[in-house]
Amino acid sequence: MAVGDINSAEQWMNDPRHRAALAHDAQRHLDFFRPSLDPSGGFFVLDNHGTPIKGAPNEIHWVTRMVHSFVLAKAWGAADCDAMIDHGMHYIWTVLRDDKHGGYFAAMRDGEIVDDTKLGYGHVFVLLAASSAKMVGHPDADRMLMDITQVLMDRFWDQDHGLFYDEFARDWSPISSYRGYNSNMHGVEALQAAYEATGDAMYLSKAGGIVDFFVHKIAPQHAYAVPEHYTADWTPDLAYEGNPMFRPRGTTPGHSFELARLAIQWWDLAGRPADETLTHARALVDAAYRDGWSEQGGCVYTLRYDGGVLTPDRYWWPVTEAIG
């Protein structure tokens, strides 16, 4: 049975040897990241050899994802996850949380604010961490879930469009008119986790609105390669070029794989409505695979709007987005 053989994909995914290999790899990752726990607060950022990178800040998405990952590991049955979860939850609540203005800082270092921007991207990951923690009965999950939900709905939710704003200053004054696909896609991930943790249909409804905009409206208009960047009225901004790693020009095939998976999850949680969600999700996957998969293996980072390769570099996260 060849790895990647589409005709035998279902058999391959359920093959005990394959599942054992997945479990082994997951355990290797857990073992690698456990030493990242910083006794003074947060988590060390590690280099490829597992050595802490001196001076690296604790960014909000780093800490929240660490919590989420070890919650998943705990739910899977891995041992010794509680210390990592407790440590991360404490840091989010006592250090990253802004007691003065509300919300959560983008980055801290040694107890000092490095970046006081309030990012939609980071805040939806707080929702994900809190929701995940609630699923395993963490004692701090409920208060964090209530707090982040209020912040997201009061500060980040664009009521007119049913999507998340992207960024504010510490005092919640606007700092740009930028609107982003990335924070909203991860918003779907977090909202659906919150729905599964609480049963509150509000979360699923808002996730569905975001799915409708990007999957049912935007994707078909752009050959199923969703633009990353938008103007204040949610018009695709095809001329935008920001940070090449975090707001790159063009489209990212990895995000198409991930959006497709999240859309299918929404469809399932919503009771499998008779709509076009599965058709659009399959079209997203097909386009991303056709244009984004490298002949040398792996997924290229970004594509031009005509589907040609823009950034041929291959990073680990587009592959994991595709696996998910």
pLDDT digits (tens, 9 = 90+) for 224-275: 999 999 999 999 999 998 888 889 999 999 999 999 999 999 999 999 999 9
| One domain, residues 69 and 133 | yes
CB within 8 Å of 33: residues ≥ 6 apart: 43, 46, 66, 69, 84
Contact between 222 and 210 (Cβ < 8 Å): no
pLDDT of 10 > 70? The answer is no
Between the alpha carbon of residue 281 and those of residues 52, 190, 198, the distances in Å are 39, 19, 26
| One domain, residues 148 and 109 | yes
Q: C-alpha angle 35/36/42, rounded to 5°? A: 135
CA 49, distance to chain mean position in Å, is: 25
Q: Would residue 284 count as lying in a domain?
A: yes
| One domain, residues 48 and 76 | yes
| One domain, residues 294 and 160 | no
How many Cα atoms are found within 13 Å in the side-chain-facing hemisphere of 114?
Answer: 14
Q: What is the pLDDT of residue 8?
A: 58
| One domain, residues 161 and 24 | yes
Question: Which of 145, 174, 203 marks a domain boundary?
Answer: 174
Q: What total number of domains does the chain contain? A: 2
Averaged pLDDT, 284-313: 91
Q: What is the pLDDT of residue 9?
A: 60
Contact between 270 and 210 (Cβ < 8 Å): no
CB within 8 Å of 201: residues ≥ 6 apart: 195
Q: Would residue 112 count as lying in a domain?
A: yes
| One domain, residues 170 and 189 | no
Phi-psi label, residue 224: left if phi above 0, alpha if psi -120 to 50, beta otherwise: left
Query: Comparing 37 with 19, which gets the higher pLDDT?
Result: 37
Q: Would residue 14 count as lying in a domain?
A: no
Range of the domain at 96: 20-174
Between the alpha carbon of residue 293 and those of residues 33, 81, 288, the distances in Å are 29, 35, 7
Query: How many residues in the chain?
Result: 324
| One domain, residues 197 and 95 | no
| One domain, residues 183 and 213 | yes
- Could you tell me the pLDDT band of residue 280, with boundaries at 50, 70 and 90? very high
Averaged pLDDT, 133-139: 98
Contact between 303 and 238 (Cβ < 8 Å): no
| One domain, residues 145 and 184 | no
Q: What is the pLDDT of residue 3?
A: 43
pLDDT digits (tens, 9 = 90+) for 183-209: 999 999 999 999 999 999 999 999 999
**Token output for 140:** 């701090």
Q: Would residue 291 count as lying in a domain?
A: yes
| One domain, residues 196 and 155 | no
Lowest mean pLDDT among 165-169, 180-184, 269-273, 308-312: 308-312
pLDDT of 157 > 90? The answer is yes
Average pLDDT, rounded, for the chain = 94
| One domain, residues 79 and 216 | no
* CATH code of 270's domain: 1.50.10.10
Q: Would residue 155 count as lying in a domain?
A: yes
- Could you tell me the pLDDT band of residue 1, with boundaries at 50, 70 and 90? very low
Q: Would residue 277 count as lying in a domain?
A: yes
Of 181, 188, 185, 227, residue with least CA distance to 206: 188
Q: Would residue 15 count as lying in a domain?
A: no
Question: Which of 142, 174, 206 marks a domain boundary?
Answer: 174
Which residues on neighbouring strands pair with residue 311, listed in sequence order?
Answer: 302
**Token output for 85:** 């979860």
- Could you tell me the pLDDT band of residue 12, with boundaries at 50, 70 and 90? confident
Q: Would residue 3 count as lying in a domain?
A: no
> What does the alpha-carbon distance between residue 75 and residue 30 come to, in Å, rounded to a whole number?
13
Averaged pLDDT, 72-78: 96
Which residue is listed with tokens 């040694």? 110
Q: Global pTM?
A: 0.94
Q: Residue 105: how many CB atoms within 10 A of its CB?
A: 22
Contact between 107 and 116 (Cβ < 8 Å): no
Rg of the chain over Cα atoms, rounded to whole angstroms, equals 20
What percentage of the chain reaches a pLDDT higher than 90?
85
Q: Is 163 exposed, middle or buried (0-12, 13-18, 19+ CB in 10 A)?
A: buried
Which residue is listed with tokens 């705990």? 74
Averaged pLDDT, 167-194: 98
| One domain, residues 56 and 91 | yes
Question: Which of 141, 174, 207 marks a domain boundary?
Answer: 174
Secondary-structure percent of the chain, ordered helix, strand, coil, rounded to 5:
55, 10, 35
